[in-house]
Structure 1
């Protein structure tokens, strides 16, 4: 899934009432958040809680090549870049099949599509240009040199 063209680690969470974006991931986007007219109190499954009043309205997302939009509330989350909660899932008539790790969507214009989730975390490979943009905006970067010493069977 992509947010404004950037590859994002996204959790579709039917247990979340709202949708959220990581403050760190959001800082790498060329978009300015809005200030909500109220302070939102958010409780997490780990028992911690926090307040926020920042939201990115109508964030452009791409799923399976289809453009969709979400209002994403800023939180200092770490494990995911975006959490799509019931506000977004219900607006897009999402039906989750947890066993097969798929989500069926029927968006308001009548378009239907199926999204197949990843089986685990994988680090996406990004281009030099994307990496440069992230670094220019203050994101952390790491350079790794990897040698695969396993022998190919042939």
Structure 2
């Protein structure tokens, strides 16, 4: 989760494990990186299922040639799920539009669990029906 990212992204390498074809956006998105460079893309995987606390949430993941992260959940996703971040306590509280609430609590060193690429690929074998456990 990255409150500094306006959109949600998936790495091109990680996306190559999906057994679905991305949609083409009607525009080319120019994404500025923290290093000051730009990346351009027009591909997006729509409505990818992400399971948190057993609750299915969905994200539109824009494809980028990034290396350091498999998936970045940005402000578009965080705001759609009415998330509130507490950096001190390393928690994210979700207040879903249907009234359901739940909390995600980060670990000591990582805010999300790390899983291997092979294990993640197994989750994604069914296309966007794959999910990351958090």
Q: TM-score, normalised by structure 2?
A: 0.81
Q: CA deviation at 1:123?
A: 4.5
Q: TM-score, normalised by structure 1?
A: 0.71
Deviation string 1:28-66 (CA, Å, 9 cap, x unpaired) is: 122210000000000011111111000000001111111
- In 2: Cα distance, 1:75 partner to 1:84 partner: 13
Give the unaligned 5+ runs of structure 1.
Answer: 1-11, 134-154
Counterpart position of 1:57: 46
Counterpart position of 1:4: none
Aligned-residue RMSD, C-alpha: 2.1
Counterpart position of 2:26: 37
Higher relative contact order (CA 8 A, sep 6+): 2
Counterpart position of 1:87: 76
- Does the residue aligned with 2:82 lie in a helix, a strand or coil? coil
- Does the residue aligned with 1:87 lie in a helix, a strand or coil? helix
Q: Is 1:130 paired with 2:125?
A: no
Give the unaligned 5+ runs of structure 2.
Answer: 126-134
